[in-house]
Structure 1
């Protein structure tokens, strides 16, 4: 019986870098090598596998279905191997490599940012990238290790850990309320200017609760915002009423820029989740950050 042929894994880190960078130039810059080397290694890997891993266009290279499958299976394994080697070279506890985090704009600024700085000081060999935005990211496509999401999760392919919950407030600026009056019942909101927050699934439909009484209101909006910062800017400038999460609304209310409206009525609470991409392996750097973050926010 002949011995099994040894696999050459040289091209895998280059393959993963090309998937995440999206171009040969960006992958070469990330790896610190030439575009020619990236192209050669990818071509050799495709020849060995007998499969086309990328679709090439003039602007971007995108993984084929075979490429996506290979990336999904190999990236966690290669990351784990790199971490094991780095820890063996060091003191067994020092984290190395890259950690990519993402979260909603204001949550990233007010909560994640300070936590990342302190965690980074504990692990100076670890490069941490914090991305913020209210758009839901494709974690695999963008190479995200850990995402923080506020609201209600719908993607069943993701693994998530519930960290807590947040309250929602109906708010407006004092100037808006002085000009247009303060609504005394949710039904009156339909006659007011509304600022829609477009990342929400139903930004114009809201259900208010007061004891056993429930009131569902359909708003009309001339203004809309696709980020927390934009929503806050429109509201504080007197653009109308809207709903904001407590992490943003409470700071603005303390500063006197926004006022809570219909305080005796409540809106549904949402969850704060840590979300992992699909796959079997959870890198040590992600586990370490989650342990740190939960104790940091306790």
Structure 2
């Protein structure tokens, strides 16, 4: 593990670049290199206050590593061949909104039910899934999402499959009738309460940027990273929410999706497949997940309130 990290550091020229490629932090890479130096008993980097340059010993280790990794790959290939013949268990790591949308369909898929494949499911947010992969504790399939420009990266050994884009949609109390006269303006959307992500998270940063680009000054009545809770607050008439389209398949009565063309945000969904995953079983699970993925969603008809609610007055 540390030798692979050394190869990336020497090849890319810095701890930070290697950390980005491998999904670590720069400090974690530095700690690995210190541990490797202690193990080999030689200095591998000449460190200054601003940089670390590989020594000739480090470069020699990198040159010699090619044959080591080639031999290791041959060993792994033999293991994969045996694994594909004998294994029918597939481990899937996914984030909660995708799990809620597809897992029941996958378990009920006739091709999975009749195949003898055993599914093992782990729920992680994407950053934790990538750290798990980078640490070597790799699931057969890991589903992650990232926003355009996101720094989230994973080891190049993982095979990346694209599963489309999950567009964000505005969900608001049906009684507000925000789009009665067409798509609501930025002024109208700045005048209502919102339930937003907790500040500082990667999702919150992406959502805040989308609001700013649309000229919307979103006023928070509360914070929640749980999209089901956010939609329930919309159904209760308390606030609007900005949520991935995949969760709107379960929109509660009393809330509806409002089309806001100027508010543009989507996250790209990827499946990362381990090189050691059992081929036929893994492909069958991936196909079942594609079949279970919801298409473009529309809000279900909501039950109108007995007494229509007025849109809340702006705070002063």
TM-score, normalised via structure 1 length: 0.55
Determine the C-alpha separation between the residues in 2 that align with 1:261 and 1:292: 31
Write the mapping of 1:104-119 to structure 2, written as runs, cut at 5 A. Answer: 104-118=95-109, 119=111
Structure 2 partner of 1:229: 228
Write the mapping of 1:172-211 to structure 2, written as runs, cut at 5 A. Answer: 172-174=172-174, 177=176, 184-198=184-198, 200-202=203-205, 205-207=208-210
How many pairs are equivalent? 210
- Does residue 249 (structure 1) correspond to residue 248 (structure 2)? The answer is yes
Structure 1 partner of 2:132: 139
- The change in CA–CA distance for 1:215 and 1:294 in structure 2 (over 3 A counts) is closer
- The change in CA–CA distance for 1:205 and 1:76 in structure 2 (over 3 A counts) is farther
**1:121 shift after superposition:** 1.0
**1:227 shift after superposition:** 2.6
Structure 2 partner of 1:276: 273
8 Å CA contact 1:101, 1:144 repeated in 2:
yes
Structure 1 partner of 2:120: 129
Determine the C-alpha separation between the residues in 1 that align with 2:223 and 2:206: 9
8 Å CA contact 2:210, 2:264 repeated in 1:
yes
- The change in CA–CA distance for 1:206 and 1:242 in structure 2 (over 3 A counts) is farther
Structure 2 partner of 1:156: 153
Report the more deviating stretch, 159-168 or 286-295.
286-295
Structure 2 partner of 1:286: 282
- Does residue 170 (structure 1) correspond to residue 170 (structure 2)? The answer is yes
TM-score, normalised via structure 2 length: 0.52
8 Å CA contact 1:105, 1:229 repeated in 2:
no
- The change in CA–CA distance for 1:74 and 1:221 in structure 2 (over 3 A counts) is farther
Q: CA RMSD, aligned part only?
A: 4.1
**1:243 shift after superposition:** 0.9
